Amino acid sequence: MAEVTLQNVSRHYGSTAALDGVSLTVPDGAFVVLLGPTGAGKTSCLRMVAGLDRPDQGRVLIGGQDVTEASPAARNVAMVFQQYSLYAHLTVRQNLEFSLKAPGLKLGAAEITARVSRVAEVLQISHKLNNRATQLSGGEMQRVSIGRALVRDPAIYLMDEPLSSLDAKLRADLRIELKAIQAQSGATLLYVTHDQIEAMTMATHVGILDHGRLVQFGPPREIYEAPVSLYAASRLGQPRINLLPAALFPGAPARAKTIGLRPEQIFQGEGEEGQVQRVEHLGDQTRLHLSYRGESLITVTDAHSPLRAGDSLRIRPQNPFYFDADGARII
Amino acid sequence: MSYSITEPTARVKWLAGGLVVAYALITLVPLLWIIATGFKSGADSIAYPPKVLFEPSLEGYVNLFTDRTRATPEMLEAAGPPQNWVEQVARDQGQVIAGPSRFGERFLNSVIIGFGSTALCMILGTAAAYAFSRFRVPLKDDLMFFILSTRMMPPIAVAIPIFLMFRQLGLSDTHLGMILLYTAVNLSLSVWLLKGFIDEIPVEYEEAALIDGYTRFQAFYKVVLPQAATGIASTAIFCLIFAWNEYAFAVLLTSGNAQTAPPFIPTIIGVGGKDWPAVAAGATLFLLPVMVFTILLRKHLLRGITFGALRK
Ligand SMILES: Nc1ncnc2c1ncn2[C@@H]1O[C@H](COP(=O)(O)OP(=O)(O)OP(=O)(O)O)[C@@H](O)[C@H]1O
Ligand SMILES: [Mg+2]
């Protein structure tokens, strides 16, 4: 395992910047999650580290060594692709063994078998080892792709939305499993996801990408509690942060254009009255859709709330975020 | 009964089956007639009305592989009893065997030239198709069109320049010359077909292999080739069929040394009159290699012609 650093990396495709001056350090043993909407440059970022694409500008370092010009094979990285890429002409076992049989690695047959069985066990695919890769369901294919990475012992694991096509239960299991593997072995991961819970529960660090620029990097709680911008604030949180005109509530700073209210930043029972539009009982919590002075917002209340549509509820901001006209946070 | 898009109804199946059988009969009858004629005696082969049932004879095959001379009864007497069954067959026609015919040689030439050019074409074609599919080749589209355009003209239209070129280069009537010629003719279509197949293989497979610690060539060899096998097999069959059946250039450019079977078979002349059983026997043997090759690759071929429809 090793520390991975991107130094001022840029990559342009025609006029679009896939990556624009990204500087990022993935500390040894860290679990870094990249967040950003589609097209933000998450996959591009992983491909730079893997060596599948060369930066137009900037450097890539793995374990302190400049690998900007090194071939993918020389970098010792493992990658799970966004579109799972199993070798269709091979069985599941052969797929898992493929990287272990690479020339230059020279592992013994017993060692290879042991590693494959261990990973197959963890991913619950032991009974499919002799199937052809094409005879698997989408979720099984995705588990095999994860397995193809996990059998290795690379400098860094790169995973591009590895859990996206799994059912909720399996996803939760694998989330815990991946986190456990990382905690035990001290593996370094650079991980892309759109899933809030994955980001919050697994990451030691979160990087927020916006049009190829890294706009914030830090521990997930820091991103959640101290976002630098409106954009960063809206990447995390469920339900999403409410973004309303700043003038809606009293006490906004002069430059503020937008007020950002997460559910826990909305104090209930004081302030001005709003109307409950809809109540969603989710089990462990209840979501309230409110209308407040012509704007609508969503907040959370306790699971057994007696509130119903049509009721009134007083609310006021509590330590809200304010953003200026450019979307930057006013502190 | 529920309706299914993929599962035909029983009636449709019968209809489809019937059509296939009818078509097979139409196409197979001439073929079966050729095979049967190969086992007829000279008289049966030209009998009118045609004989469907006949006494099988190896006359055709013996005549195909031997040169014979007509002998008077006294000469036959003097030659003593026949040494083996082959000679017996010749004697029965009132002939003695003068030596082996050139058919074996011609057939071997066909095999060398047909399979040689197919192999060469596959090697060059796969390499070129891979490069066009994966690398940033300058003027790629124009080059691809140029490659295809070489096939737009019937090859025989350039017969005279090729004839002159071959004479200058000493390639006339050589195996190498014919292999190069058939490869050149087949290569353009092969590159196009193969590029289509390789384009369908997602580049992620190779990228995954690169990350797994393989070099680009190893990735090509271990990942791309096996998945392109279907395309390579079907393209190879197209190439082989062309090279195997090609007649015009073979007549023009070969005579003694490198002559292939197609120009040779029609020249099989019996001792006195056209020897139809021998011609039919030659045609039958000539059909076999392509048939065997196609049957061996049939699993790939069927998948290839549906252009990867079965592949995920
Ligand atoms: N090979 C390429 N050719 C042209 N443009 C590309 C290429 N690869 C990426 N891009 C562009 O770069 C930008 C970033 O792409 P990238 O794949 O990194 O997005 P992403 O964040 O992974 O998105 P998603 O969440 O949809 O996977 C996009 O605008 C994309 O169109
Ligand atoms: Mg992506």
> A29-63, pLDDT tens digit by residue?
999 999 999 999 999 999 999 999 999 999 999 99
User: pLDDT digit string (tens) for B215-271?
Assistant: 999 999 999 998 898 899 989 999 999 999 999 999 999 988 999 999 998 888 766
- Residue B307 counted as domain residue: no
- C-alpha torsion A120→A125→A130→A133, nearest 10: -110
For residues A76 and A180, state if they share a domain: yes
- In this prediction, residue B270 carries a pLDDT of 64
3-class secondary-structure state, position A17: strand
Is the ipTM reported for this complex over the cut 0.85? no
Q: What is the DSSP string of B194-221?
A: HHHHHHTS-HHHHHHHHHTT--HHHHII
- A134/B209 Cβ within 8 A: no
Domain count, chain B: 1
- The verdict on A303 and A157 lying in the same domain is no
What residue in B sits closest to A82 (Cα-Cα)? B204
| Mean of pLDDT over chain A | 91
Say which of B207, B223, B226 has its CB closest to residue A52.
Answer: B207
Residues A264-270 have a mean pLDDT of 92
> Is B140 contained in some domain?
yes
Residues with CB under 6 A from ligand 1: A 13, 16, 18, 36, 38-44, 82
- State how far the Cα of A179 lies from the Cα of B170, in Å rounded to an integer: 72
Residue A266 reports pLDDT greater than 60: yes
In a shared domain, residues A83 and A18: yes
Q: What secondary structure letter does DSSP report for B50? A: P
Domain that holds residue B249: 104-267
The neighbour count for residue B207, using CB atoms within 10 Å, is 21
Q: What is the pLDDT of residue B306?
A: 46
Q: What percent of chain A has pLDDT over 70?
A: 100
Of A78, A103, A105, the CB nearest to B211: A78
Q: Do A229 and A246 sit in the same domain of this protein?
A: no
State percent of chain B over pLDDT 90. Answer: 57
Give the whole-angstrom CA distance, residue A186 versus residue A202. Answer: 13
The reported pLDDT for the residue numbered A165 is 79
d(CA A65, CA A68): 9
Which of B112, B156, B147 is closest to B128 using CA atoms? B147
For the domain that residue B130 is a member of, what is the CATH number? 1.10.3720.10
Mean pLDDT of A206-213: 94
Q: Is the pLDDT of residue B307 over 70?
A: no
Question: What does residue A228 show for φ and ψ, rounded to 5 degrees?
Answer: -80, -20
Q: What is the pLDDT of residues B81-140, one digit of tens each?
A: 888 888 888 888 888 888 898 999 999 999 999 999 999 999 999 999 999 999 988 999
CATH number, domain of A57, equals 3.40.50.300
Q: Which domain holds residue A225?
A: 4-234
Q: What is the mean pLDDT of residues A196-207?
A: 90
- A73/B205 CB distance under 8 A: no
Q: Picking from A98-102, A119-123, B75-79, B298-302, which range would have the lowest pLDDT averaged per residue?
A: B298-302
Tell which of A192, A213, A234 closes a domain: A234
Structure-token pair, residue B54: 């006949």
Residue A278: pLDDT above 70? yes
Give the residue-averaged pLDDT of A194-203. Answer: 87
Quickly state the pLDDT bin for B303 (edges 50, 70, 90): low
C-beta atoms surrounding B80 within 10 Å: 7
Task: Give the end of a domain, one of A234, A255, A270.
Answer: A234
Residue that is last in its domain, among A171, A205, A234: A234
User: What is the best residue among A42, A81, A190 to mutate for testing ligand 1's pocket, by most ligand atoms within 8 Å of CB?
Assistant: A42
Name the minimum distance, in Å, from the CA of B64 to any CA of chain A: 46
* The pLDDT of residue A110 is above 80: yes
Whether residues A189 and A272 fall in one domain: no
Strand A189-192 to strand A31-35: parallel, antiparallel, or no bridges (unpaired)?
parallel
- pLDDT at position B47: 87
- Closest ligand (CA of A194): 1
Q: Are the C-beta atoms of residues B191 and B132 closer than 8 Å to each other?
A: yes
* Residue B86 CA to ligand 1 centre (angstroms): 75
Tell me the average pLDDT of chain B. Answer: 88
Kindly state the tokens that stand for B63. Answer: 């005549």
Same domain, A225 and A81: yes
Same domain, A166 and A290: no
- How far does the CA of residue B200 sit from the closest CA of chain A (Å)? 13
Q: Which domain CATH number covers A261?
A: 2.40.50.140
> What is residue A180's predicted lDDT score, i.e. its pLDDT?
87
Considering the entire predicted model, what is its pTM?
A: 0.80
pLDDT at B119: 97
**A187 has a pLDDT exceeding 50:** yes
Is residue B81 a part of any domain in this protein? no
Number of domains in chain A: 2
CB contact under 8 A, B213 and A104: yes
Instruction: Let me know: does A64 contact A7? Beta carbons within 8 Å.
Output: no
Tell me: do A226 and A305 sit in the same domain.
no
Distance CA B152, CA B160 (A): 18
Nearest CA in chain B to A78: B211
Closest-CA residue of chain A to B203: A85
List b or e across A26-38, with b for residues whose CB sees 16 or more CB atoms inside 10 angstroms: beebbbbbbbbee
- The one-character DSSP state at A279 is E
User: How sure is the predictor about B36, in pLDDT bands with cuts at 50, 70 and 90?
Assistant: very high
**pLDDT(B308) > 90:** no
User: What's the average model confidence in pLDDT over B66-94?
Assistant: 84
What's residue B236's pLDDT? Answer: 93
Whole-angstrom CA distances from A232 to A6, A307, A327, B306 are 21, 32, 10, 49
Kindly state whether residues A55 and A120 are assigned to the same domain.
Answer: yes
pLDDT above 70 covers what percent of chain B? Answer: 94
User: Is 90 exceeded by the pLDDT of residue B204?
Assistant: no
CB pairs under 8 A between A and B: 61
Task: Look at residue B255 and tell me if it is in a domain.
Answer: yes
Half-sphere exposure of B121 (CA within 13 A, CB side): 35
The reply to whether A81 and A150 lie within a common domain is yes
